[in-house]
Structure 1
C-alpha cells in the first residue's frame, strides 16, 4: 500500500510539473519585456511556442505616444498598459497576410512613467509583425500633482502662462488664484483638445462660471475667454476632461485692475544721463534699452531717477514699474530726442555775381541763409552734407548769415560771411 502511494504521488508530481511547464509556455507573460526605443521599427514573430512579446517604453516626461503595427498575421492582439497593468487601449488587428500586412495605429496622451506594449496571439494565427512607437513630448510646465484644491498649483495673475496636459492618466488640473483686492478677472484658454471643461470656483466651491470648450486640435486651438468681477479672496480654476478627449492647453488668468499705471516719464534726449519721472511710491522702476535693463527705486512720493548711458537719437526706452504687491505695469515707450545742435555750416566764397551759396553742413539738415532777419533762401543737405542755396546776387559787403537746422529743429551757431 505504501509502495502504491509512492507510485501515485510520483506520477501526480510528474503530471503537475508537465502541466506547470505547459502553462508557462502558454502564459501571457512568457516573454521577458524588451526595451523599445522610440521611432525605431522592430520585427517580431508570433508562434505556437512564443505567443506573446512584451515591450517596455519609458517616458521621462509627459507626451503623446503613437503605436503603429503592420501585421502579416491573420489576426493578432495588441495592447498598451501602464506599470500597474491598467489598459490604455487594446485592439484586434485582422486581415494581415504574408504578402499584404494589416496596418493599424493608435495614440494616447500619457504622463511620465513606464508603459508596456504587448503583442499576443489571437486564436491559432501565427506570423510576423513590425512594430514602431513614436513619441512627442508635451513640454507642459504645469506642476503635478495638481488634481484638486488641496494640491492646486498657484498661478500668478497677469504674468504667468501655464501649458498643461489632460492625459489618459490625468483627467483634471486645478490652479489657485489669490486676488488681493476686488477687480475684473479674465480667464483665457487655448485648447488643443477636441473638447474640455473649464470652471472658476470660489474657496467655498461655489461656481462663478463653467464652460465646455470644443473644436480644438493639435494644429489649431479652440480659443475661449470669460471674465467676472470678483471680490478679494482665493479662487480655483479647474481644467478637466470631457468624455475621452485628451491633449494640451494653454491657460492664463489676468486682472488688469491690479496693475499699476505705466510710469510718467520726462523727456529723454541724446544728452541725458538719467531717466526721470513719477510713478507709484516705493516701486521698482526698470528701463530696458535693447537687451540691457537699468533699475532703481521710486521714493515715497513716487519720483524716480535712473542712471543710464547716453543714448543715440531715436533709441527706444521701455519703462515699467513693479509695485510693492509684485505687480508690474505695462511698458511706457519713450523715444530719445535729439537735443544736440549741428555744427555751424561751412560757406564757400560769395561774390556780388553769385547766384548760389554753397558749402557743407550736417547731412540731411536744412541750411538757411538770412540777410538781417529776412530769409533769402534755404536748401537740404545731401547724404554727404553738401548744399546749394539759390539766391539773387547781393551787393559787395552785404553780410549773409547761414545756419543749419536738423530734423529735431535744433539750430546751429551762425556762420556770417560778407559778399566780395
Structure 2
C-alpha cells in the first residue's frame, strides 16, 4: 500500500463552554486580540479551506448532558454542519459511547475501573450510533460504524483492512463513524483517548486536515480564567508552545481527554504533514471553512509511511530486546533490520507478531518493531548468525528478529 499520511498538533488550556448548538463563532474577550493576528476570514488557512479529505473528532462533553446522556440537539447540530461540507470526504471520530451508557446503567459519572467502562461502552455504543443514524437520515445519508483498537492497526494486514474499509465507505457515500472499541480493548491495546485516535485515523485515511472539536475554543497562553490570557490563533511549531500551560479534562467528567492529549494528537498529525484546527463544537462550521477561529496548527513534517506511525504512537510494547552498539548503529544510521547477532538480552513475555522495544545497552528505547519470534525462542538466538541458526535449527530461523519494514525509530 502506498504511503499514508499522519497529523498531529498541540493544544493547551482552553475555556470550557457547553453551548447546546453549533453556531457561527464570534471572537470574544481575551480571544479577540489573538484572533486579529489571523487576519480576514480564511487568511493563512488555505490548507483548511482546500482540504478534501477531513477527519473531525468530537469529544464526549460536546455530545452529552451533564448527567451523561446523549443530547440530541447537539448531535443534530454537528450533523447539520458535516452534511453541508460539499465535495469533501469526512471521517467522524466520535467519543461518547461510555458517556451515553452512564445514565441507562444508573452511573453518575465515568467509572474508574476498566470492566465497568467496557460495560458502559457496550450499552452506550449502540445508543450513540442509533442517534447518528437517525440524525444523518434527516438528510438521506447513511453512516457506517468502525471500531478500532491499536492492536488492529499496528499489524500490517489489519492496518490494510482498516484502510480498505474506510476507503470503501467513502466510495459508497457513507459517513464513517469511528470510535475505539472500548468493549474489548485492554489497558495494553488502548489508544488512551480519541484525540490520539483521531490523529492516527487522519494518517490512516491520508487526510488533508484534522479538526478537533471540544468544549474549549482554542489554545490559550495560560489559564483562560485569569485576566490577560489570550487565545493563540496559530502554532507554527513547538517553539510557539513554550510556557503554555496545559489544562486537564473538562468539568463534566465524561471524557478522558484534556489539553495535554490534544497537544499530543496535534503533534502526531502535524509532524506527519497534516494541519490541525482546534475549536469548540459551537464553531464547527467556521473551523471547517478556514475562518480564523480556534487555533490553527501548521504541519511541521512530511507524510510518513503508513502503519509505522501507528506502530510508534498506538502500540504498547509487550517486551524488549537489548542490542549491542553495532546493532544500534545499523538500525539507527543504516536502516537495517535487527538480526540475532546484535542482541544481548531479552525482557518480557511476548509472542511473534507483537510490538516490542529495541533498547541500547543503557536501557534507552531507540526503536519499536514487530518481532518475528516468541520471547522464549530468543535466548537461543542471541549473538548468533542467521546462517548458523539455519544449519542448527532449520531454515525458519534464517530470518530477521525484526524486519526493517516493521520497525520505526523513536526520537531521542
With the shorter chain as reference, the TM-score category is under 0.3
The structure with the larger Rg is: 1
Higher helix fraction: Structure 1 or Structure 2? 2
Larger fraction in strand:
1
Larger RCO (CA under 8 A, 6+ residues apart): 2
